[in-house]
Structure 1
Amino acid sequence: MYLSTLLTATLLPLFTSKTTASPLLEKRQTIDPPARYYLRTQTVNGPHEDTGTNKTDLWLYSHHTGAGLGDAGLSSNQSWAWEGYLNGSQQLFTYEDNEVGPWPLAVGYGPYQQWNPVTISIAAESSTGQGFFFNSSGLQFNQSIGGWLACDWWHGVPQLFQLNGYSYGPLPSSCSKVQLLPVAI
């Protein structure tokens, strides 16, 4: 009985209040991005969220790792940015003079990891149905509660990762939490 009363008192306001939206519902409110856009980073400057590296104004592209394969790389050079568009709930990319595509954005899964790899690969079948959407904070991954992370990593360029919401200690000093904001083409 106590548990039932507690759940009702906790959950009922989420579904009945029209004046005060819960943080969970606010995160799900979607906005329409431009038809075609580049994704640019903006560092999240909250307490304990920026570890000291400036990862603002970096442009998302696919860093080549093999035939049709790429990790989500970030560059300060806008001419490297890949053109993105949202197709339903799939984040797709194209790039100039390439007849192959579209290239889906995919978030990998790593059990018991603090963050997950992100790829932009022609062979990224795992992206099907993952679900991406935009809200006032930019591109969101449907299964994420942690947001995005930009780190200087093993390719010699900043890379994009997805924070899974689990904390296993401090983030590396080469990383910053970021938002991915659309810039209309």
Structure 2
Amino acid sequence: MASKQFFLKTAPLPDEEPSQYTNLYLRHFGSGMDSIVLTPGQPKFIKGHMDGSRITFNSASHEGRKWGLALRKDGEQYAGWEKVEIVEREGSDKLLFTGGEEGSVKEVLECEEEFAEEKVWKGWMVCDWAHGYPQLFWVTHKLNGELPSFCHRVQIVREML
């Protein structure tokens, strides 16, 4: 039986008001780049589903091809955040939805990535970045202090289809 399909979108952190980055859908940037950008409209060509502890995407226009949600790591994550991408034939393990009934807005995407018994993943953030659209990043255990002024912390939730 195939797993249920969904879109991924942003939501405010608990006890925070919605921001300009609330209710935006994660989309593959394309143009030869694997970056994830955020837009107000639902993606037309990719739908996510769980494949064990990975999120994979199928394309309506490219049957048989699969992409995965990949949390990148650049060395020791000294900046405190790293890229998130949608990459063909790849994807990060240890992703899970928590906090609510299946399909509810309260069902939040988290990662159980660990390094030397310390939880590495600390959340998500959106930044006004180089592609002309807000871009998604993951926050690491190395983040000390505040985010840059052009970034904002968010949650990622799924919208069931």
Place the TM-score, normalised by the shorter chain, in its bin. Answer: 0.7 to 0.9
Instruction: Note the C-alpha offset of 1:82.
Output: 3.0
Q: Any idea what SS the aligned residue of 1:106 has?
A: strand
Instruction: Identify the residue that residue 148 of structure 1 maps to in structure 2.
Output: 124
Instruction: Structure 1: state its 5+ residue gaps.
Output: 1-33
How far does the alpha carbon of each residue in 1:131-176 deviate from its partner, in whole angstroms, 9 at most, with x for none?
Answer: 2111015111221441111111111111111101222332122221
Deviating more after overlay: 94-103 vs 170-179: 94-103
Q: Distance in 1 between matches of 2:72 and 2:160?
A: 27
Deviations, residues 45-89 of structure 1 (Å, cap 9, x unaligned): 558xx8x952101001111141xx411111111245731001001
The gaps in structure 2 that reach 5 residues or longer are: 100-106, 114-119
Instruction: Give the alignment's Cα RMSD to 1 decimal.
Output: 2.3
Give me the whole-angstrom Cα distance separating, in 1, the residues matched to 2:38 and 2:45.
Answer: 8
**Residues 45, 60 of structure 2: 8 Å contact kept:** no
Q: Give yes or no for contact 1:74–1:158 (8 Å, CA) kept in 2.
A: yes
Q: Measure the CA separation in 1 of the matches of 2:22 and 2:125.
A: 11
Q: Give the secondary structure class of the aligned counterpart of 1:78.
A: coil
Deviations 1:28-55 (A, max 9, x none): xxxxxx71111111021558xx8x9521
Shift of 1:116: 0.7
Whether contact under 8 Å (1:61, 1:80) holds in the other structure is no
Structure with greater proportional strand content:
2
> Which amino acid letter does the alignment assign opposite residue 183 of structure 1?
E
Which protein has the larger Cα radius of gyration, Structure 1 or Structure 2?
1
**1:84 aligned residue:** 48
Q: How many residues align?
A: 144
Q: Would you say 1:159 and 2:135 are equivalent positions? A: yes
The two structures have a TM-score, normalised by structure 1, of: 0.69
Quick one: distance in 2 between partners of 1:181 and 1:95? 20
- The 8 Å contact of residues 71 and 85 in structure 2, kept in 1 or not, is answered as yes
Q: Is the aligned partner of 1:134 residue 2:97?
A: yes
* Aligned equivalents of 1:98, 1:116: Cα separation in 2: 28
Equivalent of residue 116 in structure 1, options 69, 82, 85 = 82
Counterpart of 2:88 in 1: which secondary structure?
coil
Code of the aligned partner of 1:180: I
> How much identity, in percent, do the aligned residues show?
28
